[in-house]
Amino acid sequence: MSPLTAPAPRAAHPPVQRTVEVVGRRAVDAYVELTLSAPEIAERAQPGQFVAFAVGGETSALLLRRSIAISTADDGLVTVVVSAAGPGSAWLTERQPGDTVDVVGPLGRPFPDPPPGARALLVGGGYGAAALVGLAARLRDAGHEVDAVAGAAGADRLCSVQELTGIAARVAVTTDDGSSGRRGLVTLAVDELLPDAGVVYACGPMPMLRAVADAATARSIPSYVAVEESMACGIGVCMTCVLPIVGEDGRTRFSRSCTEGPVFGGDRVRFDDVGSLPWDVVGADAMGVVAP
């Protein structure tokens, strides 16, 4: 068995809470891209981290923040891509230039640097691809060759293809229905590009992350996945975003996606056991769970 992928590093800078101005809004097919004037967050942010928005306005009953991955952070500006999945995120997509929002960030652990000289393969599913744009630019600027795969259910659910095309040496597009690029899952393109990769980074739905991580692990290629778990508080208090993660000692613990993640080594996530209580997780014996 090959050694486990090294854990993601801790963030270099602590987060801040600020009320910031929306200075740009752009429809991107099924999503909305917001640009925020947030210099203190932008200067601290690293690819893979996220921000948490207060939603609904001052009199709203929506108490929990909405956590959204950072797409880019540069020159005092932070961009995020939002999918209107519920009342909170729908409220965010309705913000216009000149509006202000309360935001905390950057939060979470970022993507680690690749091995020296390694070619990187970036894989994004749906709007998860937005979280890879800043990473792609950072890797290219550091002298790494970058390939990218963007996949979605259909053409209207693709995201950041144009941005990735301007950065990566090769970009492959797949859609489940064949409405853009190749018909099929992202693994079609991943399997073709993996032989050239020295490291894999991915962000998107959990089934996609599992398939990409499994493919990389089968070739003994390190992979890092930014999980899309619901993060109710974003700061590690509520414990709603825990996942079973294998630690450096080989034992499994429930780790919080918002603080120990959202970036994990792909071979450290026990995808089969997400949503369950494995018998061998640390502390399971105290809860009366017995080995099968």
Q: Which CATH class is domain 8-234?
A: alpha beta
In whole angstroms, give the CA distance from residue 21 to residue 10.
Answer: 28
Residue 28 in tokens: 């991107």
DSSP code for 269:
B
Dihedral sign from CA coordinates of 229, 231, 234, 238: negative
Residue 259 in tokens: 């603080």
| 228 — pLDDT class (breaks 50, 70, 90) | confident
Dihedral sign from CA coordinates of 224, 230, 235, 240: negative
Residue 227 in tokens: 């999980």
**Would you call 59 helix, strand, or coil by DSSP?**
coil
* pLDDT value at 145 more than 70: yes
In whole angstroms, give the CA distance from residue 279 to residue 277.
Answer: 6
Mean pLDDT of the chain: 93
In whole angstroms, give the CA distance from residue 204 to residue 128.
Answer: 5
In whole angstroms, give the CA distance from residue 225 to residue 111.
Answer: 8
Cβ-contact 16, 43 below 8 angstroms = no
pLDDT tens-place string over residues 254-266: 999 999 999 999 9
pLDDT at 64: 86
Lowest mean pLDDT among 10-14, 76-80, 176-180: 10-14
In whole angstroms, give the CA distance from residue 287 to residue 195.
Answer: 44
In this structure, how many other beta carbons lie within 10 angstroms of the beta carbon of residue 270? 16
Q: What is the mean pLDDT of residues 42-70?
A: 91
Lowest mean pLDDT among 34-38, 64-68, 282-286: 282-286
In this structure, how many other beta carbons lie within 10 angstroms of the beta carbon of residue 61? 6
Within 8 A by CB and 6+ apart from 22, the residues are 34, 35, 36, 37, 95, 96, 97, 98, 99, 100, 101
* pLDDT value at 51 more than 60: yes
Q: What region does 219 belong to: left with phi over 0, alpha with psi -120 to 50, or beta? A: alpha
In whole angstroms, give the CA distance from residue 114 to residue 191.
Answer: 20
Predicted TM-score (pTM) of this structure: 0.94
Lowest mean pLDDT among 1-10, 61-70, 257-266: 1-10
CA distances in angstroms from 182 to 40, 67, 266, listed in the order given? 41, 31, 25
Q: How far apart, in Å, do the first and last CA atoms of the chain sit?
A: 23
Cβ-contact 252, 246 below 8 angstroms = yes
**Where are the extended beta strands (E) located within the chain?**
16-28, 31-37, 50-53, 66-74, 77-82, 100-107, 120-125, 146-152, 170-175, 182-183, 199-203, 223-226, 242-246, 252-256, 263-265
pLDDT tens-place string over residues 99-136: 999 999 999 999 999 999 999 999 999 999 999 999 99
| 290 — pLDDT class (breaks 50, 70, 90) | low
